[in-house]
Amino acid sequence: MSVKIGVLGVQGAVAEHIKTLERNGVEAVNVKRLEDLSDINGLILPGGESTTIGRLIVQGNMKEKIQELAKNGMPVFGTCAGMVLLSEKIEGGEPAHLGLLNATVNRNGFGRQVHSFEKELNIEGIAEGFNGVFIRAPYISEVGPSVKVLETIDEKVVAVEQDNILAVSFHPELTRDDRIINYFINKCK
């Protein structure tokens, strides 16, 4: 079965995700307009600036369609800012964007750009010894009962799965380790 995965292309690490998908034999769609959401098997919400991406989703009339597709079971993968976009609550009172993940997220929870770091992660059921690249990374401070925690750093949740939703605090597209993206591709098949 050929798989077609969209990468929300309004802002952020779009090209890196597209290259990673294509390297793994998947047709990648740069989702810039509402029409681009039709005929895809999954959607990646890349890292970038969550407030800007959230605003551009609304301006492009894509918010309701993304929510509908996800609620109907289409796999969605959020990396870094994508985790913030997916979460139902954002610490500090910022309104939620898509509200699809039963979790509370702390935006830039690991600090500013200068606090960026790499750490070896063991993502349950997906990848042992994975090099996580954290750039102005969020973390999840609270999860609902339907959310499976896949990895933590000092009790801060950095990888989760809730049915068809996968979210990580870090940037797997900035490594050559494709185990997480292949796990997502398999969810989309």
Residue 2: the pLDDT is 84
Residue 15 has pLDDT above 70, yes or no: yes
The DSSP string of 41-75 is SEEEE-SS-HHHHHHHHHHTT-HHHHHHHHHTT--
pTM above 0.85, yes or no: yes
Q: What is the pLDDT of residues 131-185, one digit of tens each?
A: 999 999 999 999 999 999 999 999 999 999 999 999 999 999 999 999 999 999 9
DSSP state at residue 114: G
Residue 114 in this model has a pLDDT that exceeds 90? no
**pLDDT(102) > 80:** yes
Q: For 25-67, write each residue's pLDDT tens digit.
A: 999 999 999 999 999 999 999 999 999 999 999 999 999 999 9
Q: So which residues are the catalytic ones?
A: 80, 171, 173
Pair 159, 150: CB distance under 8 Å: yes
* CATH number belonging to domain 4-188: 3.40.50.880
Q: Is the pLDDT of residue 6 over 70?
A: yes
Q: How confident is the model at residue 97 (pLDDT cuts 50, 70, 90)?
A: very high
Residue 112: pLDDT band (50, 70, 90) is confident
Look up residue 126 and give its two tokens: 């997906």
Q: Provide the residue ranges of all domains of the chain, joining segments of one domain with +.
A: 4-188
Q: What's residue 1's pLDDT?
A: 62
